[in-house]
Structure 1
């Protein structure tokens, strides 16, 4: 009996029990830690059970899972922005460089399908190629000049085509913004020369219109003057001529000072009236 008491009081035996208890506590803590997961705001959780994607998608918040068997992959479902520069060709075979910004987000209810089909690199595998393909398909329908003059129409078509392509992979398109269309230096010079020619043609047209208007005004003025002369001729009668003569004689008499002229001229010799 005394030997057994000695063995039980051995410090090594008590230390072993303490280590075991600590291990049990650590194991329990690990089990608890592995049993819960937190999905952050703006994310959804894709559940993998032994590597297989499960149909359940976890919402934001605290969730329980099977320790060591289930893994939760967080996927962001907030709006994301992709900005890229693409090169395509117009209908008249002009090289077009386009800068486009695309806002999109993942379909929250189907992030598990996207993860299963594509993985986490969906931006480089799906979004970027879809943007490039959509731009090339639409710009090929317009000339370089139309891409500028019909920019809103081009943007709407690109959005429709891109929306359809992304929806196949459960990616929702929010909005696109075409920043600019850039063309080659040769085309820019050709456009500038065309604009100068159009301005010159417009100036020439305006000058011709001005000359035409001035000519019409002169013709109208001449016609008015001719009409006035015609009317004046119609108003001249023998009675009017006789009246004007009488008026002239009366005016001469009114101005006469009562003296006869000293000399007279004509076919007869000059005679001095005073003599």
Structure 2
């Protein structure tokens, strides 16, 4: 029978080398991971170095950064939509509630300035207040009726004013759509009554025009008849009268049966009795 082998304890120096090697591998792996960052599509990367915003903005894709020193903050630059309902006053002091939708996006090239000056709450701090201020400034230039009849013009002015305000903070306005104007019940009733009055006035005008045209037609017909009579009188001469008398007597002779009438009116059909 063989004797059992004695188990030797591990060499302390070997264990220490193994632990150190493992730590080095882990550190290298962590450093490798922390040295790269990926900016997703539709975003830009704001570089923070020990908390300070750096001038360089990272585009979409893979980028190198200093581990544990630099942090990349991804910010979306896709088109965003802000819907709001704003209460303002028209030029004639009518209260109007305007519902509008605003499409905008952040300027990717200067998004680091937006983050540094405004932060991530840019909609609550910049976009929404700018929408309200622009809308109130424009609606005050129009009466309530003009806001309805000139909606496209009002929309264009709001867009112009709003674009100027947002550009100060590196926000780009894409488009706006005014979806609805709401007025007070009193104003709506006044508009309805005005429309009814305008329709009645239009009907009265049309009736008056029709009567006027009919009268003019009657006058024209009367003038034409009078002119015809005048022309006929001008054409009647003594020779024409005598000719018509002779023609009448000839027709009477052709129809006479040879007998004198029992009663005459003072003359035979073809003999003039004095």
TM-score normalised according to structure 2 size: 0.88
Give me the whole-angstrom Cα distance separating, in 1, the residues matched to 2:74 and 2:184: 45
Post-superposition CA distance 1:168-204 (Å, at most 9, x none): 1011111112122222222222112211211111111
Question: In the alignment, what sits opposite 1:43?
Answer: 43
Give me the whole-angstrom Cα distance separating, in 2, the residues matched to 1:199 and 1:12: 108
Post-superposition CA distance 1:25-55 (Å, at most 9, x none): 2222222222211111221111111111111
Tell me how far 1:22 sits from its aligned partner. Answer: 2.9
Question: In the alignment, what sits opposite 1:273?
Answer: none
Q: 1:256 to 1:57 in 2, by over 3 A?
A: same
Tell me how far 1:149 sits from its aligned partner. Answer: 1.4
Q: Secondary structure at the match of 2:93?
A: coil
Give me the whole-angstrom Cα distance separating, in 2, the residues matched to 1:220 and 1:34: 101
Question: In the alignment, what sits opposite 1:243?
Answer: 243
Q: 1:54 to 1:264 in 2, by over 3 A?
A: closer
* Structure 2 gap ranges (5+): 1-5, 267-274
Tell me how far 1:100 sits from its aligned partner. Answer: 1.4
Q: Please state if 1:141 is matched with 2:119.
A: no
Give me the whole-angstrom Cα distance separating, in 2, the residues matched to 1:142 and 1:201: 26
How do 1:107-256 residues align onto structure 2 when only pairs under 5 Å count?
Answer: 107-256=107-256
* Structure 1 gap ranges (5+): 1-5, 268-275
Give me the whole-angstrom Cα distance separating, in 1, the residues matched to 2:110 and 2:218: 81
Post-superposition CA distance 1:42-79 (Å, at most 9, x none): 21111111111111211111112222121111111222
The more displaced of 202-211 and 179-188 is 179-188
Q: Secondary structure at the match of 1:172?
A: strand
How many residue pairs get aligned? The number is: 260
How do 1:52-67 residues align onto structure 2 when only pairs under 5 Å count?
Answer: 52-67=52-67
TM-score normalised according to structure 1 size: 0.88
